[in-house]
């Protein structure tokens, strides 16, 4: 029990107004039904109690990110950074309240005060300094494409392929980028890459709350795209997809963006790709939140997989499409450490493995990374592959 | 030039405290065309009106302006006064110097000249006013009632009992509507069919009521007082003059399909009467499922077993033509489709059902003879959950409105469940329980306490099937505790929506609905039982979600309005409506689209667009839309408006006209 003084909440209009200004404008719509809370992935993590429904009301009281007590503030920061931005709550909220946006407003405030998790501070810094959250060297950014004859983007090319940071630097994810260009080359698509000139799309740092640095990165990217005369962009990561498509336009971007699954699904429908080799595996598809819920791309990845001969397609019962469960990697989640029995990824992997699948198909580098990392510590034969990798194997 | 009299009212001190009445009277006396001007403390009082009457006669006035309060208050008073003095009432105008002048100003120096110019502008209008008389139409004192639920039944009986003929059209094979499906009704828990069926029988026996079931309105034309209608009576393939309703045909029919009346929880035959007390109690053949029609004359069992030879496979749809003076719309409601609630597995899990299905399980005449068995395996559900606001109060995905009655039926359901299964557990999940009706909160309190019912505050996010159980995922927002509640069965309190076909009907009738297909009343407070279009009246859930008491009240209200209409042979209508200068009208038809009352119609012979004087409400939309100046508002012509405006604009410079 806290002592009385801590239980009494003073309404703090200044904090509230700042948070509204920073994007928490939905707070007054909340009628405290709690639906968000029981649909949130944390609800499925046995030992976790994540009171999503409280955030609007607490924000309206100005009682978020505002504790004077150090320990209390730490607890608050923990809550504010627990959200993985999967938008399961938004999807179900009767009033369309974006709790992740409300929390992002709180994060912006915390970032302004420098009071946010050290690991996240470091990725913001690294993105700022070297254009990627891992602190890898810029000049190594195109190493994944060595020996693959991937041209640099030039005026007149139809598409820019933009793999983003994980596929550019991380060994497992590099294979996805490699498979993708393999398919594009086979289909004689006119495309190139920015190579060492490529910079992180900035999605994750915006979700962490580092709005100013996000704006810097965004403006630089838009300039780079304009200077290079980029009109259409193909992306592997749903995180680049949503940022380019839904967020860059407010900063003056006017290029078209396609997620690779949209592009490949269309090529299959048009008969330009014909998967020939049998892929005799049971494959369950995991809907990445950012591709599905946020951008309504549910059918294209399924269409690709269902066109592969021999492949037995499985769904996670109750938790597919808009009701899918997050892998836990969004909004900075990939970098935050939780105890083993306090991880969303374990819940999701169990759901996926319970289908009896041999392969978990994903369409997002974050999901791939999250699942791969976690499976390492599990005794199981199930493997994770990107949809593009599976397709590449069959053509 | 007209001789105009002006009467300035003090309205006690309401006007005179900020308007210098003497100054006004002196100024107005000088105004061209004014033959007489005077003032009085209360012009609307008897002495005030006598003053007006006396002056009209003595000064031989042929136009008067009353400078007083808003015309919405006393225009009618003064028009009647003028008429009594022999002046055409439409030569009387009111200048509003109270709401638009004295009440909104403090400074007498500002208010006085403003009052003067307001009066002068109205004088200008009055100068060009014509003598008019109200538009009169004959009324056919026969009513059409569309929809035979409790709303349509009540409206029909009330109108018929006042001695007028009624045609009642119901699209299903029997009247009764949803009320016939209910078990017991809140807040008194009387048996729904027991209180409904006497009224149904009364309909069938009433000499003033012609009942058409299995029928729908096919066509309508005309306007208030004189509608021409065509009713399509669907072929039932049963000759009702021979059929006695013995039911042998249904018994022997080999085709069994889901019963609409039992909400899919029971079966009916291809030849069927929806329920035992149906009115009329004559079966119909559902052609879509009948083997005879599906397989070219195979079967015909019903025809063979019917000893009265009542089955007639050659029967055709019939078109019945009728004429009526008023129409009551009582097409009722439906429930929001369960399939839309994917997070609850509704439509997928057989044991997640809606409120009407639960009513059928509770009903003694229902598929389980009033015992509660869950649909999947007939097990008696030992723990049941009720979820409120399903589909309603969710502007983002479903419906923004509160469906008003589902809290109450849910409270009732939980109680009835406990009465049926005393050792069972009932859990209600809700955001709040809305019980705003007479005796409703008391009913809720009683139900909660007597039934030991657990109320949890929170909207569940998911229903997940685990083995035999359905697990409700929820958070109790009052305690912050997570809940995963295993249940045997779940009843969703689905929102009411307008009945299917309501939008098409509204289009055919040319009356309005809101965004959700509920028919719109003329005024949300003051005219709740009539449509904006004259001659159409609204009853029951067709107008918005409501319970039986409200439905019946509205139905009786609509019936009373119909009786008012029928109380005289003729109706009159304000003549302040649009008129057309036939020489100017180019027949472009822009006014037709502009008119919200469908009062403009093309005269194909003259190639001009005429005004239907009965339908025209004088809103002026067509007049401002008319590009050739052919459409004019009577007594508010463009010239009158121009003159009024120039007076108002000139007033600052103080020049005479
Ligand atoms: C689960 C549940 C429980 C309820 N319990 C209670 C209760 O306990 N107490 C209470 O007071 N209220 C209760 N209600 C509310 C009650 O059902 C309604 O208030 C009442 O039935 C409304 O009657 P109505 O005539 O307006 O509509 P309806 O009963 O829907 O009747 C409309 C009729 O019009 C017909 N129709 C529709 N369109 C056309 C057309 N185009 N042409 C011809 N005919 C047409 C339909 O076939 C139907 O017969 C409950 C409602 C539900 C859903
Ligand atoms: S679902 Fe929406 S309305 Fe309901 S508590 Fe959560 S944020 Fe508030
Ligand atoms: S976005 Fe996802 S993780 Fe964040 S609160 Fe909503 S449901 Fe929970
Ligand atoms: S013809 Fe046969 S199927 Fe059709 S109603 Fe008669 S008995 Fe039933
Ligand atoms: S009546 Fe009750 S259950 Fe129905 S929508 Fe309104 S609040 Fe929800």
Residue A10, pLDDT score: 75
Asked if B495 and B391 touch (Cβ cutoff 8 Å), the reply is yes
Residue A6, pLDDT score: 55
* CA–CA separation, B247 and B26 (whole Å): 88
Mapped onto helix, strand or coil, the DSSP state of residue B152 is: helix
In this complex, which of A34, A39, A93 lies closest to B477 when CB atoms are compared?
A34
Residue B650, pLDDT score: 80
Instruction: Decide the pairing of beta strands A232-235 and A256-259.
Output: parallel
Chain B contact for A318 (CB, 8 A cutoff): yes
Ligand 3 center from residue B496 Cα (angstroms) = 31
Residue B655, pLDDT score: 43
- Residue A133 in this model has a pLDDT that exceeds 70: yes
- Residue A1 in this model has a pLDDT that exceeds 70: no
Interface contact A94-B460, CB threshold 8 A: no
Residue B385, pLDDT score: 98
Q: Which residues of chain B have pLDDT under 70?
A: 651-657
* CA–CA separation, B436 and B434 (whole Å): 6
Chain B contact for A48 (CB, 8 A cutoff): no
| Average pLDDT of the residues in A339-364 | 96
Q: Please tell us whether the domain made up of A4-116 is placed in CATH 1.10.8.
A: no
> A46 exposed, middle or buried (CB, 10 Å; 0-12, 13-18, 19+)?
exposed
Question: Smallest Cα–Cα separation from B301: which of B245, B241, B267, B250?
Answer: B250
Q: How many Cα neighbours within 13 Å face the side chain of B29?
A: 9
Interface contact A43-B460, CB threshold 8 A: no
Question: Smallest Cα–Cα separation from B352: which of B181, B494, B225, B520?
Answer: B494
Place of tokens 């049963």: B238
Q: Please state the domain extents for chain A.
A: 4-116, 119-265, 274-394
In this structure, what DSSP letter does residue B89 have? G
Distance of residue A67 Cα from the nearest chain B Cα, in angstroms: 21
Looking at CATH, the fold of the domain delimited by A119-265 is given as: Rossmann fold (3.40.50)
| Average pLDDT of the residues in A180-195 | 96
Residue A8, pLDDT score: 59
Which protein residue's CA is at the shortest distance from atom 8 of ligand 1? Answer: B185
Query: Could you tell me the CA-to-CA distances from B185 to B363, B403, B553 in Å, in that order?
Result: 11, 17, 16
Residue B98, pLDDT score: 97
Token pair recorded at residue A369: 């990374």
Q: Is the dihedral of CA A207, A210, A215, A221 positive or negative?
A: negative
Interface probe with B: pick from A26, A31, A37, most Cβ of B within 10 Å: A37
Ligand nearest to the CA of A294: 3
Residue B617, pLDDT score: 83
- Looking from the CA of residue A39, the nearest atom of ligand 3 is 7
- Looking from the CA of residue B389, the nearest atom of ligand 5 is 8
Question: Which CATH number does B575-634 carry?
Answer: 3.30.70.20
Q: Which residues of B touch A33 (CB under 8 A)?
A: 431, 458-459, 477
Helix, strand, coil fractions of chain A, as percent rounded to 5: 50, 10, 40
Smallest CA–CA distance from B472 into chain A, residue: A38
Question: Smallest Cα–Cα separation from B538: which of B496, B500, B506?
Answer: B506
Distance of residue B410 Cα from the nearest chain A Cα, in angstroms: 18
- Residue A2 in this model has a pLDDT that exceeds 50: no
Chain B contact for A165 (CB, 8 A cutoff): no
- Looking from the CA of residue B153, the nearest atom of ligand 1 is 25
Q: Which residues of A touch B461 (CB under 8 A)?
A: 35-39, 43, 92
Smallest CA–CA distance from B457 into chain A, residue: A33
Stated as kind and residue range, the H or E segment containing B470 is strand B469-476
Place of tokens 């690779």: A260
- Residue A313 in this model has a pLDDT that exceeds 90: yes
Q: Is the CB of B434 under 6 A from ligand 5?
A: yes
For B278-340, list the strands marked E by DSSP. Answer: 284-285, 318-324, 326-329, 333-335
Question: Residue A7 phi/psi, 5° resolution?
Answer: -80, -25
Q: Is the CB of A33 under 6 A from ligand 2?
A: yes
Looking at CATH, the fold of the domain delimited by B4-132 is given as: Rossmann fold (3.40.50)
Ligand 3 binding site (Cβ under 6 Å of any ligand atom) = A 40-42, 52, 83-89, 99-100
Q: Do domains A4-116 and A119-265 have the same CATH topology?
A: no
Q: How many Cα neighbours within 13 Å face the side chain of B393?
A: 23
pLDDT above 90 covers a percentage of chain A that reads: 93
Interface contact A38-B474, CB threshold 8 A: yes
Q: Please state the domain extents for chain B.
A: 4-132, 235-316, 333-497, 575-634
Query: Could you tell me the CA-to-CA distances from B376 to B16, B265, B290, B335, B473 in Å, in that order?
Result: 79, 10, 27, 22, 21
Lowest mean pLDDT among A75-79, A356-360, B535-539, B647-651: B647-651
Residue B656, pLDDT score: 41
* CA–CA separation, B227 and B220 (whole Å): 7
Token pair recorded at residue B289: 């499922």
Strand partners, B498: B333
* CA–CA separation, B249 and B240 (whole Å): 14
Q: Which residues of B touch A39 (CB under 8 A)?
A: 343, 461-462, 473
| Average pLDDT of the residues in A5-19 | 80
For domain A274-394, the CATH architecture is 3-Layer(aba) Sandwich (3.40)
Question: Smallest Cα–Cα separation from B601: which of B223, B143, B149?
Answer: B223
Give the contacts of A73 (CB within 8 A, at least 6 positions apart): A65, A67, A115
Q: Which CATH number fits domain B333-497: 3.50.50.60, 3.40.50.300, 3.40.640.10, 3.40.190.10?
A: 3.50.50.60
Residue B597, pLDDT score: 79
Ligand 2 center from residue A52 Cα (angstroms) = 8
């Amino acid at each position: 029990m806290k002592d009385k003084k801590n239980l009494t909440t003073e309404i703090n209009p200044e904090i509230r107004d700042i948070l509204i200004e920073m994007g928490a404008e939905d707070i007054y719509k909340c009628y405290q039904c709690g639906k968000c809370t029981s649909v949130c992935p944390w609800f499925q993590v046995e030992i976790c109690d994540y009171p999503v429904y409280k955030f609007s009301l607490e924000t309206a009281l100005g009682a978020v990110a505002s504790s004077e007590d150090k320990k209390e503030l730490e607890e608050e920061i923990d809550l504010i950074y627990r959200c993985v931005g999967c938008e399961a709550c938004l999807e179900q909220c009767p009033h369309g309240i974006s709790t992740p946006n409300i929390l992002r407003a709180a994060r912006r405030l915390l970032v302004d005060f420098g009071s946010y998790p050290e690991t996240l501070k470091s990725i913001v810094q690294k993105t700022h300094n070297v254009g990627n959250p891992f602190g890898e060297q810029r000049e190594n950014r195109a190493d994944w494409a060595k020996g693959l004859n991937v041209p640099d983007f030039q005026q007149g090319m139809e598409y820019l392929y933009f793999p983003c940071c994980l596929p550019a630097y991380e060994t497992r994810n590099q294979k996805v980028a490699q498979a993708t260009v393999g398919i594009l080359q086979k289909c004689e698509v006119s495309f190139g890459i920015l190579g060492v000139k490529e910079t992180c799309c900035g999605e994750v740092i915006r979700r962490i709350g580092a709005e100013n640095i996000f704006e810097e990165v965004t403006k630089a990217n838009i300039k780079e795209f304009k200077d290079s005369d980029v009109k259409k962009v193909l992306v592997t990561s749903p995180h680049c997809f949503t940022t380019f498509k839904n967020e860059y336009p407010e900063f003056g971007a006017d290029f078209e963006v396609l997620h690779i699954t949209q592009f490949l699904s269309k090529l299959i429908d048009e008969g330009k790709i014909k998967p020939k080799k049998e892929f005799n595996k049971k494959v369950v598809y995991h809907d990445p939140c950012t591709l599905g819920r946020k951008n309504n791309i549910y059918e294209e990845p399924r269409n690709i997989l269902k066109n592969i001969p021999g492949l037995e397609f499985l769904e996670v019962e109750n938790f597919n499409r808009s009701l899918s469960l997050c892998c836990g990697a969004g909004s900075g989640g990939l970098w935050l450490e939780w105890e083993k029995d306090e991880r969303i990824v374990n819940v999701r992997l169990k759901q996926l493995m319970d289908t009896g699948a041999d392969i978990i198909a994903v369409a997002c580098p974050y999901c791939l990374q999250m699942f791969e990392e976690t499976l390492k510590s599990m005794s199981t034969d199930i493997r994770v592959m990107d949809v593009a990798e599976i397709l590449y194997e069959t053509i | 030039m007209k001789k105009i009299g002006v009467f300035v009212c003090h309205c006690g001190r309401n006007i005179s405290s900020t308007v210098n009445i003497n100054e006004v009277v002196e100024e107005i006396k000088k105004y061209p065309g004014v033959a007489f001007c005077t003032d009085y403390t209360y012009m609307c009082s008897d002495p005030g009106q006598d003053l007006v009457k006396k002056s009209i006669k003595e000064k031989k006035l042929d136009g008067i302006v009353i400078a007083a309060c808003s015309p919405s208050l006393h225009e009618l008073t003064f028009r009647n006064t003028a008429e009594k003095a022999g002046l055409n009432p439409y030569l009387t105008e009111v200048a509003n110097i109270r709401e638009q002048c004295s009440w909104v100003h403090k400074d007498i120096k500002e208010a006085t000249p403003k009052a003067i110019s307001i009066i002068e502008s109205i004088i200008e209008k009055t100068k060009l006013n014509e003598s008019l008389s109200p538009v009169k139409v004959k009324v056919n004192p026969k009513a059409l009632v569309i929809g035979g639920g409790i709303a349509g039944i009540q409206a029909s009986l009330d109108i018929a009992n006042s001695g007028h003929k009624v045609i009642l059209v119901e699209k299903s094979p029997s009247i009764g509507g949803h009320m016939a499906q209910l078990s017991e009704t809140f807040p008194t828990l009387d048996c729904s069919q027991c209180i409904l069926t006497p009224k149904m029988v009364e309909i069938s026996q009433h000499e003033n009521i012609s009942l058409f079931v299995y029928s729908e309105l096919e066509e309508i034309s005309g306007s208030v007082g004189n509608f021409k209608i065509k009713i399509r009576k669907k072929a039932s393939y049963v000759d009702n003059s021979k059929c006695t309703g013995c039911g042998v045909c249904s018994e022997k029919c080999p085709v069994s399909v889901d019963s609409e009346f039992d909400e899919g929880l029971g079966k009916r035959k291809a030849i069927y009467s929806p329920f035992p007390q149906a009115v009329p109690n004559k079966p119909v053949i559902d052609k879509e499922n009948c083997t005879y029609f599906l397989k070219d004359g195979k079967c015909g069992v019903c025809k063979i077993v019917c000893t009265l030879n009542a089955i007639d496979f050659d029967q055709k749809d019939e078109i019945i033509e009728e004429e009526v003076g008023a129409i009551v719309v009582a097409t009722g409601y439906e429930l929001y489709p369960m399939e839309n609630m994917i997070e609850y597995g509704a439509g997928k899990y057989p044991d997640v059902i809606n409120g009407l299905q639960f009513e059928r399980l509770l009903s003694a005449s229902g598929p389980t003879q009033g015992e509660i068995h869950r649909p999947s395996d007939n097990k008696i559900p030992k723990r049941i959950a009720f979820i409120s606001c399903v589909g309603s109060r969710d502007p983002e995905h479903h419906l923004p409105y509160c469906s008003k009655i589902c809290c109450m039926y849910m409270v009732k359901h939980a109680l009835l469940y406990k009465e049926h299964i005393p050792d069972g557990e009932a859990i209600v999940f809700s955001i709040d329980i809305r019980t705003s009706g007479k005796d409703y909160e008391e009913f809720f309190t009683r139900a909660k306490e007597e039934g030991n019912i657990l109320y949890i505050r929170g909207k569940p996010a998911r229903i997940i099937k685990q083995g035999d159980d359905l697990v409700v995922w929820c958070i109790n927002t009052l305690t912050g505790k997570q809940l995963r509640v295993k249940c045997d069965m779940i009843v969703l309190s689905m929102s009411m929506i307008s009945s299917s076909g309501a939008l098409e009907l509204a289009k055919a009738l040319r009356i309005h609905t809101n965004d959700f297909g509920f028919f719109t009343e003329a005024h949300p407070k003051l005219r709740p039982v009539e449509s904006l279009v004259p001659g159409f009246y609204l009853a029951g859930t067709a107008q918005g979600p409501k319970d039986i008491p409200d439905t019946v009240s509205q139905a009786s209200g609509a019936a009373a309005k119909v009786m008012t209409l029928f109380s005289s042979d003729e109706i009159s209508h304000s003549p302040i409506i649009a008129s057309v200068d036939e020489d100017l009208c180019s027949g472009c038809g822009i006014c037709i689209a502009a008119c919200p009352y469908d009062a403009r119609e093309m005269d194909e012979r003259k190639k001009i667009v005429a005004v239907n004087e009965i339908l025209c409400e004088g809103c002026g939309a067509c007049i401002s839309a008319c590009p050739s100046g052919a459409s004019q508002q009577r007594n508010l012509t463009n010239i009158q408006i121009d003159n009024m405006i120039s007076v108002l604009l000139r007033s600052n410079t103080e020049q005479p006209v």
